[in-house]
Structure 1
Amino acid sequence: MPPGARDRVLVPVDPLGADGAVQVAADVTGTGPTVLLLAGQSLGPETATGTAADLAGAFRVVVVHTRGTGGSTGGPGPGGWTTATFAADAVAVLDALGVARAHVHGFSMGGRVAQVLAARFPDRVDRLVLGASGPGGAHEVRCEADVARTLRHAASPAGRQGLADLFFTPGWSARHPGTAARFAPTGSPSVRRAHHGASTGHDGWDLLPRIAARTLVVHGGDDRLTPPANGRLLAGRVPGAELVVLDGARHGYPAQFRARTAELLRAFLG
């Protein structure tokens, strides 16, 4: 598939959701080794637009629509969702595309999902990138109280602006309002609650030493949403992992620091 061309697949997955059968969507573009992109909590697939475009010249890029976002269908059941749920969905997408092994880039909550994927399905992951993520559980370095308040009200207009300031420097988001808007929460209230439960319920501490894939950890040096100490924890816990801290970057480094991110990914995955 030539760069810029895009195909969408819909993959049936189990179990059934509260709103009926669940289908996980994925957008596929480019040709070459497969790179799977996993988005953050309550974020739609459009957050990966820049990264996908930058990689599609050398890779087959697969952007997974996390349950409840984008073109995926079905809502959370009574038990909600977990990062293991989303990791199994990613494997189902790879199976549907006939991909035995792929590079995986997980951003924010997607990084938590990627931890589960790499630890539990080691034969499916070639190289692993954990971006703006953390280990979860008791070892996670928590955000400050004012950041937590912003997250609780992220769906309100004031909360959306506060969230944008956590992702990007104010001057940058003002100059790039369209890109900044892609990183606003999406999905119904029940979906946002289920995503929050999956992310906060994650504990990857015992999984991280089991990751055999060559791993790159990327973190913004000014990330208040997921403090950069979490990146250092991941890099110290995953055997042989490399760590890159982007000075001046907040949580949304893949967009604001797009050129640098593309450079890092092409060098690491190439």
Structure 2
Amino acid sequence: MSQSGHRVPGFDGTLLAVQDLGSGFPLVLLPGQANNHHWWDDARADFHATHRTITFDYRGTGDSDAPEAGYSTPEFAEDVIAVLDALGVERADVYGTSMGGRVAQWVAVHHPDRVRRLVLGCTSPGGPEALERDASVRRALGQADRRAVVKALVDLMYSPGWRASHPGPYRTLGDPAMAPHARRGHLRASDRHDAWDALPRITAPTLILHGADDRMTPAGNVPLLASRIPDARTHVFPGARHAYFEECRPQASALVAAFLAGE
């Protein structure tokens, strides 16, 4: 099956833009906070040999509607289920990165029958037990000058060596067309995520990936997640920052593909 650009109702009727490409077992790819499906433009093709890839623009991003409500990681997870229902998909693999990893946690917790295998990338359990980014990162991202924020984001996403040979454009820096209320909603959703107590209820085989030099979401969250999710596997990429899935794409995609194949 291959189709793109149509819209389906989310959990509360909000229309969500869906991109449904390739054939094979369904794989849901979830992007980071304040980003749309273009986050996955480079890596998604790595999975088309075995998977049908499904993305959607979060409410408030891309071609989806931007309602005033519905901005929390559990509600985003219900949008995932609504998209699967609309596509007639009973069960899927789920790969979420950054805030998408937080959303994926709730999909696996609340709908275990819908998730075959789970991949969590550059993410955290949230709540008081999580290892948060330091104050300097928060200051850099809180600047009023959008250009300064973009510069800070590029540095947080990619190592200097990788940037030197990959000058962009980068698709992981947020959707610039977002309405202010939607941007605030995404920030609240990510900041208020707390799945610590629920994580032991995840039954899907789980792989946790991270960049060792990630300052956006510190890699110290890997052992925290692994301590809460039964039998989770982990892998940390030396030298990589938040967007390890691009910077270490050959290795990362191969690891994910092997895990999804049951290896």
TM-score of the aligned structures, taking structure 2 as reference length: 0.94
Q: CA RMSD in A?
A: 1.5
What are structure 2's unaligned runs of at least 5 residues?
Answer: none
CA 1:179–1:236 in structure 2 vs 1: closer, same or farther (change >3 Å)? Answer: farther
Structure 1 residue 49 displacement after superposition:
1.1
Query: Corresponding residue for 2:32?
Result: 40
CA contact (8 A) 1:87 1:116 kept: yes
Q: Where does 1:78-227 land on structure 2 (aligned, <5 Å)?
A: 81-153=71-143, 156-180=146-170, 182-186=171-175, 187-227=178-218
Does 224-233 or 171-180 show the bigger shift? 171-180
User: How many angstroms apart in 2 are the aligned matches of 1:90 and 1:202?
Assistant: 16
Matched, 1:26 2:23: no
* SS of alignment partner, residue 140 of structure 1: coil
CA contact (8 A) 2:36 2:56 kept: no
Aligned pairs, number? 259
User: How many angstroms apart in 2 are the aligned matches of 1:204 and 1:60?
Assistant: 28
Structure 1 residue 8 displacement after superposition:
3.0
Alignment-mate amino acid for residue 91 of structure 1? I
Structure 1 residue 124 displacement after superposition:
0.5
User: How many angstroms apart in 1 are the aligned matches of 2:206 and 2:32?
Assistant: 19
Does 171-180 or 136-145 show the bigger shift? 171-180
Match of 2:220 among 225, 229, 232: 229
CA contact (8 A) 1:154 1:162 kept: no
Structure 1 residue 155 displacement after superposition:
6.4
Deviations for 1:201-239, whole angstroms, at most 9, x for unmatched residues?
A: 110001110000000000110001100011111111100
Structure 1 residue 9 displacement after superposition:
3.0
CA contact (8 A) 2:121 2:210 kept: yes
* SS of alignment partner, residue 128 of structure 2: helix
User: How many angstroms apart in 1 are the aligned matches of 2:223 and 2:237?
Assistant: 13
User: How many angstroms apart in 2 are the aligned matches of 1:175 and 1:237?
Assistant: 38
* SS of alignment partner, residue 236 of structure 1: helix
CA 1:155–1:198 in structure 2 vs 1: closer, same or farther (change >3 Å)? Answer: farther
TM-score of the aligned structures, taking structure 1 as reference length: 0.92
Query: Corresponding residue for 2:6?
Result: 9
CA 1:94–1:262 in structure 2 vs 1: closer, same or farther (change >3 Å)? Answer: same
User: How many angstroms apart in 1 are the aligned matches of 2:164 and 2:180?
Assistant: 27
* SS of alignment partner, residue 204 of structure 1: coil
CA 1:154–1:240 in structure 2 vs 1: closer, same or farther (change >3 Å)? Answer: farther
Alignment-mate amino acid for residue 23 of structure 1? L
The percentage of aligned residue pairs carrying the same residue is 44
CA 1:222–1:116 in structure 2 vs 1: closer, same or farther (change >3 Å)? Answer: same
* SS of alignment partner, residue 50 of structure 1: coil
CA contact (8 A) 1:135 1:234 kept: yes
* SS of alignment partner, residue 218 of structure 1: strand
CA 1:176–1:155 in structure 2 vs 1: closer, same or farther (change >3 Å)? Answer: farther
Alignment-mate amino acid for residue 131 of structure 2? V
CA contact (8 A) 1:10 1:25 kept: yes
User: How many angstroms apart in 1 are the aligned matches of 2:256 and 2:210?
Assistant: 13
User: How many angstroms apart in 1 are the aligned matches of 2:187 and 2:181?
Assistant: 10
User: How many angstroms apart in 2 are the aligned matches of 1:268 and 1:191?
Assistant: 34
Q: Where does 1:56-71 land on structure 2 (aligned, <5 Å)?
A: 56-71=48-63
User: How many angstroms apart in 2 are the aligned matches of 1:138 and 1:144?
Assistant: 14
Does 258-267 or 102-111 show the bigger shift? 258-267
* SS of alignment partner, residue 256 of structure 2: helix
